[in-house]
Amino acid sequence: MPLLLTSTADQHTVGIALSLGFGSRDDPPGLSGAAHLLERLVMSVPLQGGPSLSERIEQLGGTSNAMTEPESLTIHARVLTDDAPVVAGWMLDALTQPALSNEALDRERQIVAQELAVAAADPADALQSAFLDAVFPGHPLATAVGGTPSSVERITLDPLLQVHQRALATVPLALAYVGNVQEAALRKRMSPLAMARAGGVRPRRSPHAPVGRPNPPDPTWPDGFCWLLAGAPAPAVTDPQRDAFVLLGHLLGASPASRMYRCLRDEHGLAYAFRAWTRAYSDAGFWCFLAGTDGANGPEVVQLLHAELTRLAQQGPAPADLEAAVRHARTELLQKAENGVDSAVVMASHYCVNGAVRCPEAEAARLAHVTAADVAGAAAVVADGLLVVVRPDGRARDEC
Q: How far apart are CA 67 and CA 73, in angstroms?
A: 6
Residue closest to 37 by CA, chosen among 17, 66, 14: 66
| Residue 20 exposure: Cα atoms within 13 Å on the Cβ side | 31
pLDDT of residue 212: 62
pLDDT, tens digit, for every residue of 42-101? 999 999 889 999 999 999 999 999 999 999 999 999 999 999 999 999 999 999 999 999
| Residue 265 exposure: Cα atoms within 13 Å on the Cβ side | 16
pLDDT of residue 37: 95
pLDDT of residue 209: 53
Q: What are phi and psi of 241, to 5 degrees?
A: -70, -10
Listed in sequence order, the DSSP H helices in 254-339 are: 259-261, 298-315, 319-337
Q: Say if residue 336 is exposed, middle or buried (CB neighbours under 10 Å; 0-12, 13-18, 19+).
A: middle
pLDDT, tens digit, for every residue of 238-295? 899 999 999 999 999 999 989 899 999 889 899 888 999 999 998 889 999 999 999 9
Q: What is the mean pLDDT of residues 185-192?
A: 76
Q: Which residues contact 189 (CB under 8 A, 6 or more apart)?
A: 85, 86, 88, 89
Of 215-224, 237-246, 276-285, 326-335, the least confident: 215-224
Residue closest to 234 by CA, chosen among 347, 382, 116: 382
Q: 56-63: which pairs have CB atoms within 8 A and are 24 or more residues apart?
A: 56/87, 56/90, 57/87, 57/90, 60/87, 62/87
pLDDT tier, 195 (very low <50, low <70, confident <90, very high otherwise) = low
CA of residue 205 relative to chain centroid, distance: 17
From residue 160, alpha-carbon distances to 34, 146, 155, 164 in Å are 7, 14, 7, 6
Listed in sequence order, the DSSP H helices in 171-222 are: 183-189, 192-197
**Percent of the chain whose predicted confidence (pLDDT) is above 90:** 62
pLDDT tier, 211 (very low <50, low <70, confident <90, very high otherwise) = low
pLDDT of residue 124: 81
pLDDT tier, 192 (very low <50, low <70, confident <90, very high otherwise) = low
Of 75-84, 91-100, 368-377, 391-400, the least confident: 391-400
Q: How far apart are CA 384 and CA 291, in angstroms?
A: 20
Q: How far apart are CA 20 and CA 198, in angstroms?
A: 9
pLDDT at position 400 over 50: no
pLDDT, tens digit, for every residue of 167-181? 888 888 889 998 887
Of 74-78, 108-112, 332-336, the least confident: 332-336
Q: 3-state class of 178 per DSSP?
A: strand
pLDDT of residue 210: 55
